[in-house]
Structure 1
Amino acid sequence: MATSPKTAHEGLHSEQGAQRGDHPDRAGNPVIKVEDLAWLEFEKPDLDAAERFAHDFGFATAFRTGNELHLRGTLPGSQCVIIRKGPRSRFVAPAFRASSRADLDRLTRAADGTVRDRRGAGGGAVVDLCDPSGMPVRVVTGVEQLPQLPRQEPLVLNFGQVLRTNVAQRPPLAPARIERLGHVVLETPRFERTVDWYQQNLGLIVSDFLFFPGQRKRGPTMAFIRCDRGATPADHHTLAMHLGPSRQYVHSAYQVADLDAVATGGEYLKKRGYHRAWGIGRHIQGSQIFDYWRDPDSVMVEHFADGDMFDNTVEAGWAQMSASGLAQWGPSVTRDFLGAKPSPHLIRDVVTALRADDNEFDIRRLIGLLRVASA
């Protein structure tokens, strides 16, 4: 017997569910269903500085040459991040993991790509695609799986019952040990077309839609999107996307053991002189305990713990987007996190987006975005 879909009205994660005519939360017959994010790819001019921050943040080095750095967590699997030497710091592409070479072949026929063998560390095969916003997207399979490393064990807590006796709780002030890559957040001026592309080609499912104040009928402006693993739970979001004037990376998130790992890892980063963008708090969509930091190139990265896990029976929730609605508890959201500080780059992107006739970012959307930042 088929399992009936769960809805947001059951109090799972959102105060509203879908209405007639809303954007669907999944494609009916996707080309493939990816299993997870495999890794993220960046370029940076100084790999030594990138590796120093990575170790302070909690990564381990899996592979290093003069031109390439692979960073991993403690859990078995592929590397979390690949950084190649380049003239400036920039995000290059997300890579998703497919279950087989046959999936890559199906993608090439549907999305006009070419399967090629990956050279260098990890091996495997990859197909290079491009989403409607112009973001490169890689889908990989057959990549070498790295063995588990010693992990940071969650602390034993005396909550509700006594589990710890005659032992003091003194977590060390040290880097939090990254366990795995959790998600990446991207901004695009072609939001709904891009969400459709990930649903149709990679089989991703929306866990939550957000919309600008007073603009529910115009459709969503942010989506928290997960992998469809059937009855096996997946992260509430592996990919999150929001409508904005730029096509850009926003942040990426990496799981650590527990709240104390988030907190002590943050204290370690603070003592090392790094900049906290926002935290510590607990999100609403996804429920993660979060802490956001900037690396020396101002790239935003997140430690998180205790995120929601959904199987494929949970339908999307809908909620109004607001700055104050980003967290259940914690300090007020910062302008740094929101990216709301005016800059020549931001002004240029806004003007360009408003002049373009092939995207969804118009003057009403700009007004809605400004309302979100002030709400």
Structure 2
Amino acid sequence: MEAKSPTTTQDAPDRMHDPPTANSGKTVPAVQAMKGIEHVSPDRWTSAASTPKIRITKLSHMRYRQPASNMDNLVTFLLDFGMEIVKRTENAIWFGGYGIDQYIYYCEIGQEKEFLGGTWEVKTFEDLERAAKLGNSNIVELKDAPGGGRYSLIRNEDNQINFANKSSGQGKLVTIHDPEGFPVNFIHGATPRARPIKQPTEALQVNDEFSKPRKGAFQRFQPGPAAIHKLGHFGLTIHDFELQFRWYTTNFNLVPSDMLYVPDTDGNKVDVAAFLHVDKGKAYSDHHSFFFSVAKDKHVHHSSYEVHDYDSQNMGHYWLKEKGYNPVWGLGRHKLGSQIFDYWWDPNGFMVEHYIDGDLVNEDTPTGRQLAGDESLAVWSEPVPSTFLD
């Protein structure tokens, strides 16, 4: 009996002579990676600034109101997600990671869930005052928040240093609202931890096909949640891109790293998404600490938290999966920002993310602009679910 060929499709002969190219990955300079991509001129976000910008130094923490009726489930989830309880009162819970931030997630205990805004640390108290003036809002002292007291160092007329001006160390906060009504918080004066809770973990030695540094040593792991280092970024879905873009880039030192557009009926490019970083000049910062994208409904999209490495991220993924929590999308690798991502729903329907390996940018990094679409979201992953884009 004659054996049949295992391949009967018409394109088999062509594939035999023109096999698919093997996948690859490499690290390249930003300018090279963005070669052939449209670059956006800085005039887009500098020419409209008529006054000095409010100077942001970093993203501090997220603020949410969560229902008391489901608080036990939320706390259990956030602990399984890799956070730790730093402080708890009758009305609020502060969750932290293991970095220098006193806390990265503030949970107000209430009746209904509500997004209370991301919180930006500003450079000086004057910046905080300017933010308050921008939003016609009052500055409040965070008397209950975690943080220790501190003294300011003051030089007297004889150039001697004295300890004076004792402050709470919890900081002062102002809340304003952006043009579409989202709360935006600014904090100043909060005392960070003197050092991270845990010291940097030694990177795993990995044997590849050519380099074998790990000789006579085995890989061993401890299952559990993926411990969170810090808050990395958060994002919003919005309606009016230009309105939001002008407000955030004109008033604050937030600069787009990447922008996405769609063509209108006349073929014009209409911007629909921006990923913004904190502009620190020559110093490097995360590819984005904030993003917004146009969608049918306005809401907070997700907040994202950095974990240690690929193994800890995967073990955290399977830890959450085994506990029966509701996944959104992941694992996969983003194209813009390069992060390896893993998205989950919390018990009340807010989306949170673990990420590792994000890009760093500075004032010399070009701002890219390209077509929006699924291909702009991930290099590799399962197909993007519709719920992620809502």
TM-score of the pair, normalised by structure 1? 0.82
The answer to whether structure 1 residue 158 and structure 2 residue 207 are counterparts is yes
Q: Which residue of 2 aligns with 1:346?
A: none
Match of 2:119 in 1: 95
Query: Paired residue for 1:69?
Result: 93
Is residue 282–residue 363 contact of structure 2 (8 Å, CA) maintained in 1?
A: yes
Contact 1:14-1:317 at 8 Å conserved across structures:
no
Distance 1:130 1:218 in 2: 28
Query: Helix, strand or coil: the match of 1:142?
Result: strand
Does structure 1 residue 44 correspond to structure 2 residue 66?
yes
User: Is 1:264 equivalent to 2:319 in the alignment?
Assistant: no
Q: Look up the equivalent residue of 2:206 and give its one-letter code.
A: L
In structure 1, distance between residues paired with 2:306 and 2:242: 28
Segments of 5+ residues of structure 1 without an aligned counterpart are 1-7, 340-375
Q: Which amino acid aligns with 1:338?
A: L
2:62 equivalent to 1:31: no
Does 1:141 pair with 2:188? yes
State how far apart, in whole Å, the 1-side matches of 2:35 and 2:226 are: 31
| Distance (whole Å) between structure 1 residues aligned to residue 91 and residue 72 of structure 2 | 10
Classify the secondary structure of the residue corresponding to 2:99.
coil
Residue 281 (str. 1) matches residue 281 (str. 2) = no
Please list, as runs of the form range in 1=range in 2, the aligned pairs for 1:187-206 lying within 5 A after superposition: 187-206=237-256
Q: Secondary structure at the match of 1:93?
A: strand
Bigger mean CA offset, 309-318 vs 215-224: 215-224
In the alignment, is the contact (CA less than 8 A) between 2:240 and 2:294 conserved in 1?
yes
Unaligned ranges ≥5, structure 2: 1-28, 147-169
| Deviating more after overlay: 121-130 vs 286-295 | 121-130
Tell me the SS of whatever aligns to 2:236: strand
Q: Deviations over 1:308-343 (max 9, x none)?
A: 01012223100100023210112111123223xxxx
Q: Does 1:178 align with 2:202?
A: no
How far apart are 1:111 and its partner, in Å? 4.3
Task: Encode CA deviations 1:132-185: one digit per residue, 9 max, x unaligned.
Answer: 010111111111313421257242222453332222223222111100000001
| Alpha carbons of structure 1 residues 225 and 268: separation in structure 2 relative to 1, 3 Å | same
Checking the alignment, whether the CA contact within 8 Å between 2:335 and 2:379 is kept in structure 1 is yes
Does structure 1 residue 116 correspond to structure 2 residue 165? no
2:336 is aligned with 1:254: no
Q: 1:47–1:69: 8 Å Cα contact kept in structure 2? A: no
- Judge conservation of contact 1:75–1:148 (CA < 8 Å) in 2: yes
Counterpart of 1:357? none
Structure with the higher fraction of residues in strand conformation:
2
> Are the aligned partners of 1:124 and 1:141 in contact in 2 as well (CA < 8 Å)?
yes
What whole-Å deviation, never above 9, does each CA across 1:252-301 have from its counterpart, x for those lacking one? Answer: 11001111111111011100111211111110010001111111122211
Whichever residue aligns with residue 89 of structure 1, its letter is K
Task: Say which of 201, 206, 209 aligns to 2:259.
Answer: 209
TM-superposed CA distance for 1:116, in Å, is 2.9
Q: Which range moved further: 55-64 or 83-92?
A: 83-92
Figure out how many residues of one structure are paired with residues of the other and give that number: 332
* Cα distance per residue 1:23-52 (max 9 Å; x no partner): 447865542220111111111113322211
Distance 2:252 2:127 in 1: 10
Which of 31, 35, 40 lines up with 1:10 in the alignment?
Answer: 31
Residue 125 (structure 2) pairs with residue 104 (structure 1): no
Which secondary structure state, in structure 1, belongs to the residue aligned with residue 242 of structure 2? helix
- The answer (yes or no) to whether the contact 2:66–2:113 under 8 Å persists in 1 is yes
Percent pairwise identity: 30
Change (3 A) 1:21 1:97: closer
Alignment of 1:292-303 (within 5 A): 292-303=343-354
SS of the residue 1:75 aligns to:
coil
* Alignment partners' CA distance in 2, 1:270 and 1:279: 12
Check conservation: 2:40, 2:369, Cα contact below 8 A.
no
Distance 1:90 1:111, change over 3 A: closer
**CA pair 209-137 structure 1, distance change in 2 beyond 3 A:** same
TM-score by length of 2: 0.79
Quick one: distance in 1 between partners of 2:283 and 2:42?
29
Residue 77 of structure 2 aligns with which residue?
Answer: 53
Alpha-carbon distance in structure 2 between the residues aligned to 1:254 and 1:87: 26
| Aligned pairs for 1:300-339 within 5 A | 300-339=351-390
| Structure number with bigger Rg | 2
Q: Name the CA distance, whole Å, in 2 between partners of 1:264 and 1:85.
A: 30
What's 1:355 paired with? none
